[in-house]
Amino acid sequence: MANTSVLNTFVNPQQGVSRYVTCEVIQDSRLLNGQARYTQWNLLNIDLSDAIQYTVRAQDLGRLDVLSAKVTGLPDYWWAIAKVNNIKNQFTDMSVGQIIILPSLTSIVTALQENIAE
């Protein structure tokens, strides 16, 4: 279960939300100033029923943040596009003409909220 202080950062999806919001935070005294360390990220089940199919152009290569901003209004949700398209490295796993799926902001936020509730 995720740390309450991390969950409290989930305020307004229009302000951007880290994909790590659902992770447990561990304070590690071995780190400088006892900084937090996050546990493994829980993959979300993002509903794609209202997603958009998009053909990658040359200027899109390595720019999932720009595609995220086009669809959600924020660059912060680039990781959701990477997740639903199984893109591990946006600089090598994308090609011109490739069809990718762009999930909606509503679908991303719903997936985050459902994951937090678990």
Q: Which of 66, 68, 48, 58 is nearest to 94 (CA)?
A: 58
Using the predicted structure, report yes or no on whether residue 14 has a pLDDT greater than 70.
no
Residue found under tokens 């360390």: 37
What pLDDT, on a 0 to 100 scale, did the predictor assign at position 68? 93
Name the more confident of 18 and 58: 58
49 pLDDT higher than 50: yes
Domain count, the chain: 1
The pLDDT value recorded for residue 42 is 61
What percent of the chain stands above pLDDT 90? 39
**More confidently predicted of 60 and 19:** 60
**46 near 105, Cβ under 8 Å?**
no
Count H helices, E strands: the chain? 4, 4
Domain span holding position 19 = 4-117
pLDDT at 62 over 50: yes
